[in-house]
Chains A and B, each alone.
Chain A
C-alpha cells in the first residue's frame, strides 16, 4: 500500500490535489450581470409596515450586517397605537438624539402624543343647533408637526433615497399605514479635527487645512468667505459608493458656463465608485492622456477661498482632505499662498526662483549629458578637464551613470515617502548620504553627477505641486535620453513637442499656457505679481461676471488725506 501511495504521489498531477482557494484567471463575463440585489431597486415604500420591514431587512442585509440597527416599537398617536420601526447605522448616527428626540416622543405617552389640539375649524349656530366643521385628522402631519422635535425632517417614499440617507448617517422612521418614511437627520460620526496643512505649509497666513468630512470642509469655506453669493451645490458620484461632492462657486463672479460644465462633467461620470479627488480629477479632466494635472489640488482653505474669489470653481469631495480647483493654467502650479501675504517684490523673487527651479528640474540632467557628450566647447577648459578626470575611473557611459543615479534617487524618494515617519528620515539619510558617498568612493558614479542629481532633486521640491512634479520627473527621463542621443538637437526636439502639447491642453476651456499662449497681454494676467493696490482685475481668461477686483484708486484714504 505504501509503495502504491508513493508511486501515486510521484506521478499524480499536482493540481489535482491542490485544495487552495483560487479565483478564475479570466473573468467569465466582461459586462456587469444583473445581481439579485438589483431587483430590490426602484421600489417605493409600502403602506404595510411588515412588508417594509421585510424589504429593509433584505436590502440592508441586517442579519449579517452588524452595524445596521432596526428598532421596532409602537407609537402613540392620539391614544392610538401604530406599529413602526426605525433604521440607522450604529457609529454614524447620534444615539442620544435618536433616544431623546425620536423614540421618547413617539413611544412614551405624554401630552404631545395625546394632545388633540384645536379640532374645530368653524362653528355655526342656527335654531339652537350648532354645526361644527371639524378638522380631519392627518396622522403624518401630526407626527411631523408635533412628535418629531428635530430640525431636519423630510418625507421620502423611494427606498433608493432612503438607503442613501441611512448610509450617510440619518435615521429613517417607518410607520404602519403610511406609504412614506420620515428621514430624520441624526448624523454624528468621529472625524479628524482640523489641523495644520502638512503638504502646503506657509509662514504667514491661515494654518487651517481641510479634513475628510464634506460638511466640515464646506463650513470652513463658508466661514472664510462671508458672502451669500457663495453657492455650495451637492452632487453624487458613483453608482455603488454614492459619494457626495460639493461644487462651490461665487454666483456673482464665476462664469455660469464654467459652472454648468463642471456640474455636467461630474453628473455624467458612470462609475461604480470614485474614492478621492485625485480620481475625480482624472474623470473630469479635458485631456485624459496627459500626465499633466488639469486641476489644482489643495488642502489649504485660504487657497481655495482665494481661487473662489477669482471666479474659479472649487470641488469638495467627501472623504478627502483635498479640494479640486478648476480651471487652472500651468502658472497656478508655481503659485504659493505665501505670495499674496508678502511684499510683491519678495513674492516675485520667489516666483522667479520657482520658475528657475522648474526649468532646472526638467532639463539639468539632460543639459549635463548633452554638454559633456556633444557640446563640450561650452565648458571652460579647466572645468572640462576636472569633469573628465572625475569620470576617468567610472566604468559606465554618462547616460547609464545618470540613469543609475536618477532611478536610485526616485527609489529613495519613494521609500522615504511610503515608509513610516520615523523611518522616512533614516531612509533619506542612508540613501542620500551613505549610499551617495559609497557610490562615489566605489567609482560607480562621478562626484559631479552627484551634484547634478542633488540640484535636480532639490529644485524638484521647489515646484510646489505634487501632481506636476510627477510629470516633471517623467519628462526629465525623456529629456535625459534625448540629450544622450542627440545633444541639444534632441533636447530642442523634445522641447518643441512638449511646448506644442502644452499649447494643446485646456483646463475647462482655459488654455493651459494662458495668458502667454495665446498671448493676452493685459496687466493683471501676468505671472509676476503687481502691488496689492494695483491688482485691479481678475484674469481675463476666466471670463468672470465681475472683471474688476478693486476700484482704480483703491487706497482712497490717501486721496482723502491729501484733500
Chain B
C-alpha cells in the first residue's frame, strides 16, 4: 500500500462507495472540528480585544485568509508550516519556562488524580487530543519518499506530545483548578501570569499573535486536506470551487452554536466522541480490513504461484 492514503484503502476495501463515504465522513468531521474551533477562538479574541466587533466577522476574516492561502497552493502552506512549527515550539517552551517561578510543584499531587479508574479508563478518552493523527491517514501521497512515512508519524506524535505535555504541565502547576473556559482560554490564562521583569508585566498579547498565526496555519491545512480529499474522490480538476465551498461550510457550522454552553457541549462531547469514533475506530477498522484483505490476496497469489510452478515442474518431468 505504498503511497496510498485512507481513501485509497477504503476504495480497496469497499470500492468507490466506501471511498465516498470515508471522504464525506472525514470532510464533515474536519468541517465540524474547524467550525467549532474557529468559533471558540474568535469568541476569545472578541472577548479580549474586540468587544465591539461581531464574532462572525472575525470568523470570516480567518476563513478568507485561509482560503487565500489555499489559493496560493498546498505546497506553500506546507512550506510555511515548517517555519510556523518552530515559532509554536519556541512559544510553548517560553510559556513553560517563563511560568516556572509561579508554579507550585505540590499541585502535581495526587499523581493518580481521581484514582486509577478515572485516570486510566475514563481518562483514556482524552486520547482524542491526538486527533491530529488523522492527517497521518491522508499524508502518504504527499510524501516524496515513502520510507519517510514512519519517521513523519513518529515525529508528529512526539511533537504533539511535547506541546501537550508542556501546556498541560504549566497549566496544572500554575492553577489549583481550572474553573472556567476551554483549553485555549486556559493557556491564555497561563500567559497572563508571565512577567519579564518590571518592564513587561503583561505579555499575553504577544502569545495571542503567535496563536492567531498558528490557528491560520491549522485552518489552511484543514481546508487544503478537505479539498484534496474531495478532489480525489469525486475527480474534480479545479480545486478553487471546493476551497470556497469548504470555507462557506466551516463558516456556517461556526454559526450553529447559539451560546457558550452549546459551544462547550460541541467541544467536550461531540468533538471528543466523533474524534474517537472516526479516527480511532472507523479508520482503524478500514485499515485492518484492508490489511487482512491484502494479506489474503497475497496468500492466494502465493498459492497460485506455487501451484503454477508445480504444474510447470510436472510438465517438464513428464
Contact = CB atoms under 8 A, between A and B. Distances in A.
Contacts of B58: 489
A496 B45 contact: no
A497 to B, nearest CB: 6
B72 A516 contact: no
Contact of B77 (A495, A500, A511): A500
A499 B212 contact: no
Given A378-B206, A517-B82, A497 B69 contact: yes
A448 interface: no
Given A492-B212, A493-B212, A501-B72, A517 B203 contact: no
Contacts of A283: none
B277 interface: no
A519 interface: yes
B61 A499 contact: no
B198 interface: yes
Nearest to A492: B212
Given A486-B50, A501-B72, A517-B79, A496 B217 contact: yes
Interface in A480-507: 486-489, 491-493, 495-497, 499-501, 503-504
Interface string A511-538: 1010011110000000000000000000
B23 to A, nearest CB: 26
A458 to B, nearest CB: 22
A402 to B, nearest CB: 19
B148 interface: no
A101 interface: no
Interface in B207-236: 208-209, 212-213, 216-217, 220
B80 interface: yes
Contacts of A511: 79
Contacts of A378: 200, 202-203, 205-206
B200 A492 contact: no
Contact of B76 (A489, A500, A519): A500
Nearest to A490: B61
Given A486-B50, A496-B65, A377 B202 contact: yes
B199 A496 contact: no
Most chain A beta-carbon contacts within 10 A, residue among B68, B204, B209: B209
A519 B203 contact: no
Interface residues of B, number: 35
B198 to A, nearest CB: 7
Contact of A375 (B205, B213, B220): B205
A563 B3 CA distance: 54
B175 to A, nearest CB: 20
A516 B80 CA distance: 9
A503 B79 contact: yes
A493 B65 contact: yes
Interface in B77-120: 77-80, 82-84
A495 B205 contact: no
A239 B122 CA distance: 78
Nearest to B199: A380
A307 interface: no
B73 A504 contact: yes
A374 interface: yes
B205 A489 contact: no
Contacts of B204: 377
Interface string B240-259: 00000000000000000000
Most chain B beta-carbon contacts within 10 A, residue among A486, A489, A513: A489
Contacts of B177: none
A374 B202 CA distance: 13
A23 B9 CA distance: 71
A32 to B, nearest CB: 36
Contact of A492 (B76, B78, B209): B209
B201 interface: yes
Q: How large is the interface on A (under 10, 10 to 19, 20 to 34, 35 or more residues)?
A: 20 to 34
Most chain A beta-carbon contacts within 10 A, residue among B80, B82, B201: B80
Contacts of A489: 45, 49-50, 58, 61, 208, 212
Contacts of B208: 488-489
Given A500-B76, A516-B83, A487 B65 contact: no
A499 B212 CA distance: 14
A377 B205 contact: yes
Nearest to A519: B82
A501 B216 CA distance: 14
A503 B212 contact: no
Contacts of B75: 503
B76 A491 contact: no
Contacts of A377: 202, 204-205
A371 to B, nearest CB: 8
A504 B83 contact: no
Given A493-B65, A518-B82, A504 B76 contact: yes
Contacts of B199: 380
A503 B49 contact: no
B177 to A, nearest CB: 25
Contacts of A374: 49, 205
A511 B202 CA distance: 38
Interface string B13-33: 000000000000000000000
A500 B69 contact: yes
B69 A488 contact: no
Nearest to B212: A492
Contacts of A517: 79-80, 82-83
Contacts of B72: 500-501, 503-504
A516 B201 CA distance: 33
Given A375-B49, A378-B202, A504-B72, A493 B216 contact: yes
Contacts of B82: 516-519
A493 B204 CA distance: 18
A503 B76 contact: yes
B213 A496 contact: yes
A491 B83 contact: no
Interface string B43-63: 001000110000000100100
B109 to A, nearest CB: 34
Given A377-B202, A486-B50, A504-B76, A495 B213 contact: yes
B24 to A, nearest CB: 28
Given A497-B68, A517-B82, A491 B217 contact: no
Nearest to A491: B209
B206 A503 contact: no
Contact of A380 (B49, B61, B65, B201): B201
A503 B50 contact: no
A493 B65 CA distance: 7
A488 B45 CA distance: 11
Contacts of B61: 486, 489, 493
A501 B50 CA distance: 28
Contacts of A501: 72
Contacts of B45: 489
Contacts of B50: 486, 489
Contacts of B49: 374-375, 487-489
Interface string A235-269: 00000000000000000000000000000000000
Interface of A: 371, 374-375, 377-378, 380, 486-489, 491-493, 495-497, 499-501, 503-504, 511, 513, 516-519
9 contacts: A374-B205, A488-B205, A488-B206, A488-B208, A489-B61, A492-B209, A493-B65, A503-B80, A518-B82
> Top 5 nearest A-B pairs by Cβ distance?
A492-B212, A375-B205, A503-B79, A517-B79, A503-B76
Interface of B: 45, 49-50, 58, 61, 65, 68-69, 72-73, 75-80, 82-84, 198-206, 208-209, 212-213, 216-217, 220
Given A497-B68, A500-B80, 13 more contacts: A488-B49, A488-B206, A492-B209, A492-B212, A492-B213, A493-B61, A493-B65, A497-B65, A503-B80, A511-B79, A517-B79, A517-B80, A517-B82
